């Protein structure tokens, strides 16, 4: 049975055209992904961002020279891969600036609840039949509910700007084109592509949001198998998580190349 499951996982992985820097994932890495689906090996507190990255030995603080502000963290393996990509980008006159990295539950809660409060008097929201659902959907265009964000994992990075338009011309377009072409060589993939046949659900397009797939693929599989909508709670509007099927429609609503 284990061999059969492993074969299925390997075949499905190859079918998506996924590659790592050496264009192939090892059997050992596939076994790790398979084991990640075992509930007994899953740290739900980690998946849901309920920890302090500053106190986690797997995380490192990002030096200010690579970021637009202090106090951000990434997993060590992710930061090491970023450094290699950063140096390669510099050689091509592309400057990568980290503007957001790890955000734990509390940080994501702050973002969510500020938006929740600000939308209470929005004219379009007030016209909705279900006000809370309308507010949640509006926030979910670009922001995750606490417990469901990929930024909890220390594997995802926002680069340079939070405006899609910035990446459509000049230095922004150059950076975006470079990341699309060379990012995968270092393990980094765009998470939220344009919605279409390949990505039907999830957040709107984010040209700035990249994930380090050698680690985040494992966490995505863990979330798929273990994270439930009923677990997503502890913030304003959390009752909408089940109605909106957050895990299926948002946590898993990503670029298929990230699996």
Q: Which residue has the tokens 């299926």?
A: 248
Sign of the torsion angle spanned by Cα atoms 159, 18, 223, 246: positive
Alpha-carbon gap, residue 46 to 152, rounded angstroms: 7
Residues of the chain with pLDDT under 50: 1-40
Domain 41-258, architecture per CATH: 2-Layer Sandwich (3.30)
Residue 7, pLDDT score: 42
pLDDT per position as a tens digit, 85-111: 999 999 999 999 999 999 999 999 999
Q: What is the pTM of this model?
A: 0.85
Beta bridge partners of residue 98, listed in sequence order = 67, 159
Residue 191, pLDDT score: 98
Alpha-helical segments (H) within the chain: 2-15, 27-35, 44-47, 76-91, 105-118, 123-126, 131-139, 170-182, 213-226, 240-243, 246
pLDDT per position as a tens digit, 65-87: 999 999 999 999 999 999 999 99
Alpha-carbon gap, residue 141 to 251, rounded angstroms: 13
Alpha-carbon gap, residue 159 to 155, rounded angstroms: 13
Residue 34, pLDDT score: 46
Q: Which residues contact 191 (CB under 8 A, 6 or more apart)?
A: 150, 156, 206, 209, 210, 211, 254, 255, 258
Strands 98-100, 156-159: pairing kind: antiparallel
- CB distance 148 to 246 below 8 Å: yes
- CB distance 36 to 9 below 8 Å: no
| Per-domain residue ranges of the chain | 1-35, 41-258
Residue 16, pLDDT score: 40
């Amino acid at each position: 049975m284990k061999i059969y499951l492993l074969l299925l996982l390997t075949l499905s992985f190859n079918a998506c055209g996924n590659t790592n820097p050496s264009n192939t994932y090892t059997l050992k890495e596939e076994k790790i992904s398979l084991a990640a689906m075992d509930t007994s090996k899953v740290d739900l507190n980690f998946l849901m961002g309920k920890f302090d990255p500053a106190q986690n030995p797997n995380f490192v603080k990002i030096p200010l020279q690579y970021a637009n502000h202090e106090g951000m963290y990434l997993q060590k393996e992710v930061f090491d891969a970023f450094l290699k990509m950063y140096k390669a980008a510099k050689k091509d006159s592309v400057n990568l600036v980290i503007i957001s990295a790890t955000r734990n539950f509390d940080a994501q809660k702050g973002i969510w609840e500020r938006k929740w409060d600000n939308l209470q008097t929005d004219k379009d929201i007030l016209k909705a039949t279900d006000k809370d659902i309308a507010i949640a959907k509006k926030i979910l265009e670009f922001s995750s509910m606490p417990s469901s964000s990929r930024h909890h994992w220390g594997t995802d990075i926002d680069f340079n700007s939070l405006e899609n338009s910035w990446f459509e011309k000049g230095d922004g377009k150059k950076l975006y084109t470079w990341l699309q072409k060379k990012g995968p060589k270092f393990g980094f993939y765009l998470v939220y592509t344009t919605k279409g046949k390949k990505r039907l659900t999830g957040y709107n397009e984010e040209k700035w949001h990249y994930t380090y797939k050698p680690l985040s693929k494992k966490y995505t599989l863990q979330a798929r198998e273990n994270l439930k909508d009923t677990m997503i709670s502890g913030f304003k509007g959390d009752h909408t998580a089940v109605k909106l099927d957050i895990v299926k429609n948002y946590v898993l609503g990503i670029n298929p190349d990230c699996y």
